[in-house]
């Protein structure tokens, strides 16, 4: 069974409710439990956990043991973004650790080679990606599918159409390091998905802050990941509220680009 249910779209809105997910990659790791409690107390809906293996991306962060330790100190929704080669190897470990969602990269699940995803077709689901989705669900977690900036958004469509994923993550920076600049043109992928799937959770991650969130919100995103913009702020609670207000305003404006 899943630990926490996902929010549903309500009447008069063009997307599910706003979800603000501070990335703990930007927190003080020496005080991780306290930092996470602080974010939740300030209004965060989820905690975004960036898992990097030093292979799929050129950085090494944290793994299932840290999630297991963190779970002992929080009931918050743990949104685990696996930037790893062979993500299927880690499903059981993260489920046991207490993750609520695993978001894995389409490019990684399609094969071990960095260019294997080029063989994917927008009208034909890849068996390995399908198996990964089923595996995450069978382990009791929600399923997210992540796209790097260069990956065409159309490749995610068949998995959403078949009900295999709960969320699509649109990366607006190259995965690997926090603090990068927002790639505004990549947010347009969210508009493609939102037009097709009004009930889908669409997450945008990379360079998001009060100055850039409106572009993601206007494109149809409802799940906002922000790291340094939140943890580095003098008043993180104000930033969380600003991000939420941007998404909420866009959700009722009827201005999602077509």
Q: How far apart are CA 162 and CA 220, in angstroms?
A: 21
93 is catalytic: no
**Do residues 166 and 199 touch, judged by C-beta distance below 8 A?**
no
Catalytic residue among 50, 79, 100, 166: 50
Is 207 annotated to bind ligand? yes
Q: How far apart are CA 160 and CA 165, in angstroms?
A: 6
Is 81 annotated to bind ligand? yes
Helix (H, G, I), strand (E, B) or coil at 61: coil
Is 176 annotated to bind ligand? yes
Q: Locate all alpha helices (DSSP H) within 124-212, ordered by sequence.
A: 127-138, 157-161, 188-196
Q: How far apart are CA 128 and CA 113, in angstroms?
A: 13
Is 228 annotated to bind ligand? yes
CA of 144: how far to CAs of 18, 104, 164, 202, in Å?
16, 6, 9, 9
Is 179 annotated to bind ligand? yes
Is 185 annotated to bind ligand? no
Structure tokens at 8: 């549903």
Query: How many angstroms from the chain centroid is the CA of residue 227?
Result: 12
Q: How far apart are CA 5 and CA 9, in angstroms?
A: 13
Is 205 annotated to bind ligand? yes
Catalytic residue among 45, 53, 166, 205: 205
205 is catalytic: yes
User: Measured over all CA atoms, what is the biggest interatomic distance in the chain, rounded to whole angstroms?
Assistant: 47
Is 14 annotated to bind ligand? no
Beta bridge partners of 202: 168
Is 178 annotated to bind ligand? yes
Positions at the binding site for substrate: 23, 81, 176-179, 207, 227-228
Positions at the binding site for a divalent metal cation: 48, 50, 81, 205
Which residues carry out catalysis? 50, 205
Positions at the binding site: 23, 48, 50, 81, 176-179, 205, 207, 227-228
């Amino acid at each position: 069974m899943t630990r926490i249910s996902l929010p549903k779209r309500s009447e008069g809105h063009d997307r599910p409710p706003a979800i603000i997910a501070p990335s703990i990659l930007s927190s003080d790791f020496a005080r991780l439990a306290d930092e996470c409690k602080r974010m939740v107390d300030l209004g965060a809906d989820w905690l975004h956990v960036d898992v990097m293996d030093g292979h799929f991306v050129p950085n090494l962060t944290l793994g299932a043991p840290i999630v297991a330790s963190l779970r002992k100190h929080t009931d918050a929704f743990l949104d685990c973004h696996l930037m790893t080669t062979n993500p299927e190897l880690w499903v059981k470990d993260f489920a046991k650790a207490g993750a609520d969602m695993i978001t894995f990269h389409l490019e990684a699940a399609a094969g071990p080679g960095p260019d294997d995803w080029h063989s994917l077709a927008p009208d034909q689901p890849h068996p390995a990606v399908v198996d990964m989705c089923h595996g995450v669900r069978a382990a009791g977690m929600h399923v997210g599918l992540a796209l790097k900036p260069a990956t065409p958004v159309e490749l995610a469509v068949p998995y959403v159409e078949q009900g295999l994923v709960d969320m699509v993550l649109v990366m607006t920076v190259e995965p690997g390091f926090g603090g990068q600049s927002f790639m505004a043109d990549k947010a347009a992928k969210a508009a493609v998905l939102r037009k097709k799937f009004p009930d889908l959770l669409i997450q945008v991650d990379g360079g998001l802050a009060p100055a850039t969130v409106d572009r993601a919100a206007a494109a149809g995103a409802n799940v906002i990941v922000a790291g340094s913009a939140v943890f580095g702020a003098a008043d993180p609670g104000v930033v969380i509220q600003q991000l939420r207000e941007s998404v909420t305003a866009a959700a009722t404006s009827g201005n999602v680009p077509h």
